[in-house]
Every structure is written in C-alpha cells, then in structure tokens.
Structure 1
C-alpha cells in the first residue's frame, strides 16, 4: 500500500484526495498551527507536524513518522505556497519567502529517495523565465533515475467545478513511464449542481444546521450594490452610472476588473476560489441569486471538500485554508494515477519473479 507525506499541507486538501484514492497519508507538514487543527480533525490517523521546512531536517522527519530510506511505496508530495509565482500576486517582496521552498523539499527527496514524487503549484511556477529552482529539481530527478511527467492543467478536467489552472509533476523511479491522472468529462461541473442545494442565507447569517454555511456580513452600501446586480452573472457595470454605488477607483474604468462585485453564473463553472472568495469585492464571488457573497461551506464545496470536512478558526482563517487548498478531487485523480501505476508495477514484478523459478 502506498503511503505519503504531504509537505506544505495546509488544512489537508491534498491529503483528503490521496486518502480517497486509498493512499495512507502518514502526515502533513506546515508552518501554520491553525491549519493543523483543521487537518487533524478531518484526517484521523494522519499526523500534523507544525514545522518550518527551511529549518526542518530529513532525519527529524524520519524519526517523527518512522520513515524508511529507499522505500518503493513512499510518496513525497510538495505543494508549496505559491505567492511569488502567482500571476495575481501584487507584491513580490511579501511573497519572496515562497520562491525557493522547492529547494527545501528537494533536500527530503534527495535523502529519502522515495518511489514517487508529486509537485503541485501555480502555472507561473513552470512558465516563469529563469526559474532555476524548478530546472535544478528536474535535472536532479533525471540524474537520480526518475521518470516524470509535468504539465499545466485545468482542474475542471478532474472533477472540480471551477476554472483553476495548476502546474503538476509526478515522478517515479519504478519505471520509465511516469503516472498521469486520467482526464474526465466536464459535464455537470456547474455552480448549481454543487451549491444549489444549500439553505437560503442573508448577509451575515449562519445556517444553524451547518455552522460553516455562514456568509460574511456586507456593509449597507455593499448590500445595495449586490441588490442592484442582476441575478445569474450580473456585474458592477449595471450600477456604474449610479453616483452612490459607483466606486471612485472604477470611475471611467469600466474595462478593468469587471468581475469584482459580480455574481456567479448558475450553469457555468465557478471562477478560481481564492483565499478571499467570501468577499464580493475580491472577484466574481456574489451568490448567483441571493444578496450575499459565497458562504464558507459553498467555497469548500466548490473546492470539492466533503460536506463533513471540518475547518476550525475564524472566518478569515477558514477562507484562507479553503482557498489555498489543492482541490481534493484533483488530488484524488493524482492519487489514483499513483495507485494504478504502482499496482501495475508490482504485478509486473511478481510475474517476472515467477518466471525466474
């Protein structure tokens, strides 16, 4: 049975998906203690390690989780924070600490020599000119005898109802052909099919049957703005000529940031769920017909977290945990690719051993 360690685990999106693919996730590593509370509450049996990866040593991880070196069944997963490489990052200085986290992950791959390696990040991680960190890592994998497949994909092809492009890499030293997640149909991946069932909420309300189904309170002016935005895809241009509602920063600039203060469409995929998805001023995050932004539960559902997944913390922290996460459905497809590959390799090995007798 494959077993994994989830580096930069956050609240556990990757862990959740790998577990759904029947991979035993031994633990997750992250520097944020608040994320660990959600991680362990929702992933029993997987240990959360609050560690600064830049200071953490491979031999310490070996002791903490009882890992073996050269384990064919070990998967090391690195989904590092991506502020530096993100196209929407407006402050490279604030995100600069995330630039070289792959180098820290590299140390652990070098030490453990696992059967499989997975890396997931924003598309800019691959496309950024001069990204020597990734190039060095790919050279290292080749030198160590790993085969790998890397690509930029849209998670819509893996059961996630949102337009969200991601870079991913899967490497193995078990064969010359690396695993690759199988794409599925996009049919049925609509906002309506995923969040249309939730109870009606007003701005600032919480559903008593599900505390995570809670909507941030809108200011009186923002409530007027969403009420003036037509259902099912309306945007701020509808009230651009109303002096009370129009924002000074958008006067005479109808061509920019048209999605802010906009509503989602019922029968399309959602936009990328970000760490501020519960705020209508940060994107097309208005509910398709109710006068509010998305609830925390709705955001988690569009990220494909199970309905019983537990998130702990205040609203801002939970929104960050959800928006930063690898969508579990995408992670599950990666996990299935790993398990299918490993089972095929193991069967082939057994056949070859049988022929030698």
Structure 2
C-alpha cells in the first residue's frame, strides 16, 4: 500500500494527527493560529506545522485526507452555545481546503451539537457540491481505550463510498488505571497550581469521590451563597476524580477545581499536566510548548489520541480496500 498523506487544519498540538501518524499517514501540513500549539506539533510529530489563520492561507498542498477540528466553543454544551460566535463560521473553510487539496476523504471533528447547527448544514451542502458523500458518526472516546467520557461528532465526506465507523472496544479504562501509573522524577509536565488560601482549605476537606456538596455540609463558611442558589446543578465542581470510573470530559481548564471533577483522587491538588495528557491518551514522551495554561489548552482541546487512532484506522482501511478494487 502506498504512503498516504494528510493535512490537518485547526490542528492544535496534533492529538488528532497523532492517530493518523500511528496508522502510517504522513502529514504534509498542519495549521493553527496558536504558536505554542504549532511548536508542540513540530516537536512531537513532524516539522510541517505553520502558525497562521486557516481562512487566510492559500498555499494548500495535495493530500489524500483532510482532517479538521474547527472551534467548538459556539456549539459546546460546556460553553455558551452562541449561534453568533464568529468562530462558528470557521468550519466553512473546510470545503475550500477540501477542493484545493483534492482530498479523497475529509474528516471533521466537533461536539455533537455541531451536527444540528446551520453551519453543519451549509458545510454538508458545500461538500456534496464537490462530489462528496456525507456520513456522520457519534463516538465516545471511552469506547476506544480512553479513560474519559467524551462524545464527539465526526463528519465524514467521502469520494470513495461509504465506510464503517470503528468498532468499539469492550473493556473500559478507568481514571484510576491511568493515575496509578508512576510518573518519572523530573517530568516537567508533572506540575499543577499550588492551592493557597480558601482553595487549599476546601481541597483538604473534600473526601475521596467527594465534591462541593461535601464542602457545603462540612464547612458552609467556605462556600459562596451561589452554591446554595444553584442547588443540585454543577455537582462535579470542586470534585475529586473517582478512580473506579472514567473521567468526565477533560477541559482546557482542568487545572481549575471550580471547573469540574479535576481534583486528584487522594492528594490535595488538581491533576498535573502530565496526568491530564495521559487521560487524553497522549504518550509520555510528548512535550508541550508554552506556559502551563497554554499547555492545558493544548491538552484539553485535543481529540483523545486513542479515539483519533480508531478513526484513522477506519479511514486507512477504506482507502486500502478502494485501491485493491481498482487494482483488481
């Protein structure tokens, strides 16, 4: 089988690309507006990353596959779901890149609500106008070897016919399976913000598998009035990771305990950057460029590598079968 190539737009640090590289695809271009993310891409994958806007870039190479992870903030249930978010229309750059690259297959990753948006409908119509057939997959990363509940939508635009979504694995990995693995001394990503003041007091009181509800019971003086007003909403905030379960979706703010269940199961701290990367299936030899928050963004905004690998395998198999039929 010949070497297959791909472009990655809105590439971030390359977690989506990593799955394709693992299946023998060769990246010819990765593009993202974040210089830190591109520095990470070039360090860990191939030196083909460019810091630029997708919408203002015209030097588009030929590739067998185009993959894209356009901004999801305007569609995500974890955000405002603002239909007027200017980033929403960036997804409509994909057809231009598909045409210029002459890709046989286009894979667009986003949050599930993206499939109900007007941008997705316009995207689908534009790609169909170029001769692509459109298929959609809803996949959960936990079904593909990721210790995390993370549902993602994949739009497949194909010029080689329909092909099947990757079959789920049957054995789920828990957060504890990953967090129990030893981290070598000196790993510069094994760091976290040191809690101080009221934050430190809260964390020390939260029991294993506990969360803000335990704080409200044990130390109401440490709890703002807003917690009482919201009642049973957002119960995961200031929560400890349950080691016997997959983690909930890890966000780019996973080192902030007020954003979710991101406290270590037993230690009085949030997850480290390395632990967050492991939850996303990132190999330990990867290093990320930038200060802690840009690194956390690169980790939290990426496609979990095991899920990316499963999608890439399905694409590889479909292209291979098509080439075998043509040869025959």
Q: TM-score range by the shorter chain?
A: over 0.9
Contact 1:54 / 1:101 at 8 angstroms: preserved in 2?
A: yes
Structure 2: distance between partners of 1:303 and 1:196:
15
More displaced, 5-14 or 240-249?
240-249
SS in 1 for 2:242: coil
Contact 2:142 / 2:172 at 8 angstroms: preserved in 1?
A: no
Counterpart mapping for 1:124-203 below 5 A: 124-128=113-117, 131=118, 133-174=119-160, 176-185=161-170, 187-198=171-182
Structure 2: distance between partners of 1:53 and 1:145:
23
Deviation for aligned residue 1:26 = 1.6
Structure 2: distance between partners of 1:340 and 1:209:
40
Instruction: Note the residue ranges of structure 1 that are not aligned, 5 or more in a row.
Output: 200-206, 352-357
Structure 2: distance between partners of 1:188 and 1:330:
13
Contact 2:145 / 2:172 at 8 angstroms: preserved in 1?
A: no
Quote the residue 1:236 is aligned against: 212
Quote the residue 2:66 is aligned against: 76
Q: Kindly indicate whether residue 301 of structure 2 is the aligned counterpart of residue 316 of structure 1.
A: no
Structure 2: distance between partners of 1:27 and 1:111:
13
Deviation for aligned residue 1:137 = 2.2
Counterpart mapping for 1:1-357 below 5 A: 1-43=3-45, 45-57=46-58, 60-62=59-61, 67=62, 74-90=64-80, 92=82, 96-128=85-117, 131=118, 133-174=119-160, 176-185=161-170, 187-198=171-182, 208-231=185-208, 233-241=209-217, 242-351=219-328
- Count the aligned residue pairs: 325
More displaced, 84-93 or 110-119?
84-93
CA RMSD between the two structures: 1.8
Cα-to-partner distance string for 1:285-312 (whole Å, 9 max, x where unaligned):
0111111111000000000000111111
